Homo-oligomer: A and B are copies of this chain.
Amino acid sequence: MSDAADDAIAGGDQRRGSLALTIRDVARLAGVSIGTASKALNANGRLSAETRGRVLRVASEIGYRPNDLAQSLHRARSMTVGILSNDSFGRFAFPIVEALERRLSDHGIAVFMCNATDDPVRERRHIEQLLGKRVDGLVVTARRADKREPIEPVARGLPVVYVYSRVESPDALCLLPDDKGGAALAVTHLAALGRKRIAHITGPERFEAVRLREEGYRDALARAGLVAEAEECLAGDWSEAWGREATRRLFKRRRPPDALFCGNDQIARGAIDALRDLGRSVPAEVAVVGFDNWEVMAKGARPPLTSVDMNLDALGRAAGECLLDMMSGRAVAGVRRLPCSLVVRESCGAHARSSAAGELNA
Contact = CB atoms under 8 A, between A and B. Distances in A.
Interface of A: 17-20, 65-70, 72-73, 76, 78, 80, 83, 88-90, 94, 97-98, 101-102, 105, 108, 110-115, 122, 125-126, 128-134, 155-157, 239-241, 266, 269-270, 273, 296-297, 299-300, 302
A73 B76 contact: no
Nearest to A72: B69
5 closest A-B pairs (Cβ-Cβ)?
A: A240-B300, A113-B113, A68-B132, A69-B73, A68-B133
A240 B305 CA distance: 14
18 contacts: A18-B76, A19-B155, A19-B157, A69-B69, A69-B72, A69-B78, A73-B73, A80-B112, A83-B113, A89-B89, A89-B94, A101-B113, A101-B115, A105-B125, A112-B112, A112-B113, A240-B299, A273-B302
Given A101-B113, A113-B113, 13 more contacts: A19-B156, A68-B133, A69-B69, A70-B73, A73-B73, A83-B113, A89-B89, A105-B126, A105-B129, A110-B133, A266-B296, A269-B300, A296-B297
A70 B72 CA distance: 9
A227 to B, nearest CB: 33
A319 B299 CA distance: 34
A69 B108 CA distance: 17
Given A66-B132, A67-B73, A69-B134, A111 B113 contact: yes
A299 B83 CA distance: 30
B65 A132 contact: yes
A296 B266 CA distance: 8
Contacts of A68: 132-134
A300 to B, nearest CB: 4
A300 B18 contact: no
Contact of A129 (B108, B112, B125): B108
A1 B69 CA distance: 30
A136 to B, nearest CB: 12
A157 B20 CA distance: 10
A90 B95 CA distance: 9
Nearest to A63: B155
Contact of A98 (B88, B105, B132, B156): B88
A233 B311 CA distance: 39
B134 A266 contact: no
A302 B105 CA distance: 43
Contact of A115 (B73, B78, B98, B296): B98
